Structure 1
Amino acid sequence: MNVGKLILEGRAFLALLVVIVVFSLLSPNYFSVSNLLTMSSHVAVYAVLAIGMLLVILNGGIDLSVGSTLGLSGVIAGALMQGVPVFGVRLFPSVWVVVIVTCAVGALIGLLNGVLVARFRVASFVATLGTLYVVRGIGLLMTDGLTYNDLGGDPALGNTGFDWLGFNKLLGIPIGVLVMIVVAAVASVLLSRTVFGRWLYSAGGNERAAELSGVPVKKVKVWVYVVSGLCAAVAGLILSSELTSAGPTAGTSYELTAIAAVVIGGAALTGGRGNVRGTMLGAFVIGFLSDGLVIVGVSAYWQTVFTGAVIVLAVLLNAVQYGRKRPRKKPADTPTDTPKTLASVA
């Protein structure tokens, strides 16, 4: 393997190193343990969202609804923490019930996307774009455009502990980061050591060939969207817990961040190529770059420019890595292209 190919395939890791070195030189507090843990907790939201997106992209699709699903998940969690009126009595579910219900809603949104794409053959871009608006609208209708600012719960009502996900630590590591690690580990095992993983890569690489080989292509397609919706719900729980608030506009444009993390990680947008390790590195590149620009005081406008430039560069490198050389056409005057004459036939 030549050096150029090695650098190309390890570009996400090299980009992360460059980000860390540059901002460590610009700010002495950037590379401190406390700051790295804080930035990692921010990255957890991007990474969990991107892992779900990775499965969809491996299948050759796209899921534009994950940002809206993230926002609606936070709204549902906030509404449940405020209490649910039932027959004139307001019930306050425990935090674990809130988590389960929220994850179920995220999976249900993913199921809707999967059915539209797999069963009704709606283009994934169109189907998930429509779901994006529907889900965002539901969140706005539920809150009337307002934000739930107090998610702490009430000890007397037994529904406390929601902020535990965003602020507590286990062995010195934020809970959100641990959730990210668990999700990444499960996804990695799913892709590399299960039949479903082999089906997914096969269907993403060549759907028709996979179908002829007996792969349940439609079932795989539905399930990747379900997992994507579930990951979006988990990311929504982490974000709303870290912010201790939940609003219907949370997660706006996060679907683009998730796609960017997958692309920076080296996955092919055409499907069939990519892995969890690269996606995680892509999420850390985006998260550490964004936080580093904030720490050194770069304008928010320039932050957008820098982030966009990194994404464009990643897409160009993907095109270089996965671009295929077109076969050269034979010259028209070659013997194989010369029409047979009557003499030669004779």
Structure 2
Amino acid sequence: MSLYDILVEQFKKDPKYINKNVELKKWVIIQRAQNFDKELLDLLIQNDVLKKEFFVNIQGILIFKQNLFIDFLEQKNYFNNSYTKYKNKIGLTIDGMYLKQRNDIALIWPFKDCILEGGQTKEEQSRKEIFFNEILAQDEITQLLEPKVLTNAKHFDKNGEKLVKQFNRNEEGIITDNLIIKGNNLLALYSIKKEFAGKVKLIYIDPPYNTGNDEFKYNDNFNRSTWLTFMKNRFEIAKELLSNDGSIFVQCDDNEQAYLKVLMDEVFGTDNYRETIVVKTSTPSGVNAINVKRGERLFKVKEYILFYSKTPTFRFNPIYIKSDFNPNYRYEVIKRDDRYIIKDLKKQYKNNIELEAYALKNYDKIYSLEKK
């Protein structure tokens, strides 16, 4: 039963909210909701589903989400579960007001208040992608994001494959098997949420680059908006999966790097931005050189990896690589208790001969320092 149907059934318990055709008197309900009518709120609270959707519990006190309830009641079924409640004005609102009604400057895009399933298999490329609005389609979104049954699980080892009867778990009951889940990534991420929320230390994503040449070809009229919605939905669940000391790396190219950075700032927070890593992916030759010669563009030899942590307290864990002595190495690493102390040898041994003599005697403590 949909959320709207549950709402109708609940209001049927009081005749003042139902007309002779057994339909909701929407404007009666809306007027009472605007006045925080006690009888109306009591009726809503009596149903657990409606209580969960239209109230928030703050320190034991239930707060009625009045605007959400009224918005839902006004718009539900009016557009027949449409892609967005702002069908003609593309959702460009802040706090319920269209941008042209405000003096504020805002960075916002169409469909930002929507959930996009975003199937990308060859079978799904021709389908009409649906934007489920967070207000109008709460029940549809709940069904989309609730855990799905994982089927046909197989175990692969040196002897081949065999069906899995049960997963291996540690003392805390967490699955310890290496899992490869095939399917829609949004559905898969929400399906493992209960098992792994707050437990994932590292997420790496190599999403479609939205270049027009990849598989992301939905809704061409709002291509960038569609892509941003696609990414935002996945970042929100990825953040829930990350542990407090976890981090996420997202690879992209010039096409969406700037927009992706702004989006990740919003979802993960600017305080949790760590680095933009530039990766050399090709050399200035071959096809690259031909395109430059034509005057089409400069050499395309790099991509980006945007790096964010779950919390601002994140710290790098350096990896110390033991190496043969070289006069250019200048660090001595000494472990004391549970921490490492790094000494700058060149400050202690200014003469290169002295440094070399010391390093040869203490070669087991001389390292190059690389930040990973």
TM-score after normalising by structure 2: 0.21
Q: Which has the higher helix share?
A: 1
Greater relative CO (CA pairs within 8 A, separation 6+): 1
TM-score after normalising by structure 1: 0.22
Q: Which has the higher strand share?
A: 2
